[in-house]
Amino acid sequence: MSAAEGPLVVGVDTSTQSTKALVVDVATGRIVASGQAPHTVTAGAGRESDPRQWWDALLEALRQCGEPAREAAAVSVGGQQHGLVTLDAQGEPVRPALLWNDVRSAPQAHRLTEELGGAKGWAERTGSVPTASFTVTKWAWLAEHEPEAARATRAVRLPHDYLTERLTGQGTTDRGDASGTGWWSASTEAYDEEVLAHVGLDPALLPRVVRPGEVAGTVRDGHGLPFSKGTLVAGGTGDNAAAALGLGVRPGVPVMSLGTSGTVYAVSRRRTADPTGTVAGFADARGDWLPLACTLNCTLAVDRVAALLHLDREAVEPGRGVTLLPYLDGERTPNLPGASGLLHGLRHDTTGGQLLQAAYDGAVHALLGALDLVLEEDADRSAPLLLIGGGARGTAWQETVRRLSGRPVQVPEAKELVALGAAAQAAGLLTGEDPAAVARRWNTAAGPVLDAVERDEETLARISGVLSDAAPLLDRDHGVRDG
């Protein structure tokens, strides 16, 4: 392994399924070393993880990085958004963390929306209309269903905050991840005391919000870490804001991420307030905004359909008559948290490959409908769509996005963009650069561009029609309205 040309930094991605760490050369963007360790997620009534396993996974990922990690001058953590981490007076978890894809708080989301100004009021106040994914609804659920746990809580953190605090000993977060809680005001860029009072959460339990470019702290001595005491720690951010940094995207460039969840977003100079709740008006990690729409069902849902059919995930076949809405975990976009999957148009001659293609179509349809709302009116609708995430390298995903979007698709060659974004943020502490400019200098978005094909309007219209007709059935008798 050749010597680094500049100082080294570590970027971390603590996602739903695993923690990854990259050691990156600040001068060139070259990945010098990497490591990864898995997490476990409960599969019962909700989706939960013990935060302590995230720390153990981080230590293992860093161990795999070896000597280069010990030479790092700065570190930053990007992480899954929205998760509710509750800590006791000793900093230990009161209970497992409620993850972003735990939808048990759907009744609380509905009640909070009604009780505090309606959807329009919430959008203007926080940038988003709360859904079951948002941290504020999870706290409301906890206070209602597990009041002893809520009373025992002495600190409330997001997943990336938890790891950053264990690195530094200080409770911090950043505006990008804070904007996904539901208790951070997009208009004032501060915690919203009225929202916190309404859900019975003392603001003293929340972390300090560090500014873009501000040092969150320094690494504490020991704790099994390879870093030297005093190594700089950046504020970190949520996974989508980190990926935007990792790509170095400029305002108006559309991004679609295909992972456990599916997301579409674009950096914007203007704050978004969508009263329909489809677009979340998140902040980014730099000082701009990151209007974003998220679906709960993406690659895992399609892979599950493939497994049920005993097919390889690429074994799709063309077919125009069957529609599959793969809402296997409820859905966030459209907002149907109690929904299940729905199959329509099945016939004797329908093949397994056609069913699988219908699952891809259903997942991408939801994302593209949201993308039209994310992009500003003056955006270039013919510009390449950046396709990232685990699914982005799959041919079936690429071809489905091309066919249903009618846009050229660019697939960046760089992998682990959340960790790369965190590394760019850490690099910015050392060089004084904008982290997005660091990523552009590293040329992380470079990759092949797949030409546009004619948009499949027939399939889009058919799926929209089925969804419209089935919406009352999908949302019926699931306790979303009355708790």
56 assigned to active site = no
Q: Which phi and psi (to 5°) does residue 328 adopt?
A: -75, -20
Instruction: Outline where DSSP puts E strands in 111-203.
Output: 155-157, 172-174, 184-185, 190-191
* Residue 469 burial (C-beta neighbours within 10 Å; 0-12, 13-18, 19+): exposed
Would residue 420 be called left, alpha or beta, if left means φ above 0 and alpha means ψ between -120 and 50 degrees? alpha
Amino acid residing at 71: E
SS3 468: helix
The span from the first CA to the last CA of the chain, in angstroms, equals 58
Could you tell me the sign of the dihedral formed by the alpha carbons of 264, 108, 299, 306, in that order? Answer: negative
Cβ proximity of 105 and 251 under 8 Å: no
Q: Indicate the residue type of 371.
A: L
Calculated CA dihedral for residues 294, 299, 302, 303, nearest 10 degrees: -150
Neighbour tally for 401: CB within 10 Å: 25
DSSP class per residue in 311-346 = --TT-----SS-EEE--BTBBTTTTBTT---EEE--
Strands (E), 166-244: 172-174, 184-185, 190-191, 208-210, 215-218, 232-234, 237-238
Among the options 13, 239, 284, 361, which is catalytic? 239
Catalytic (active-site) positions: 239
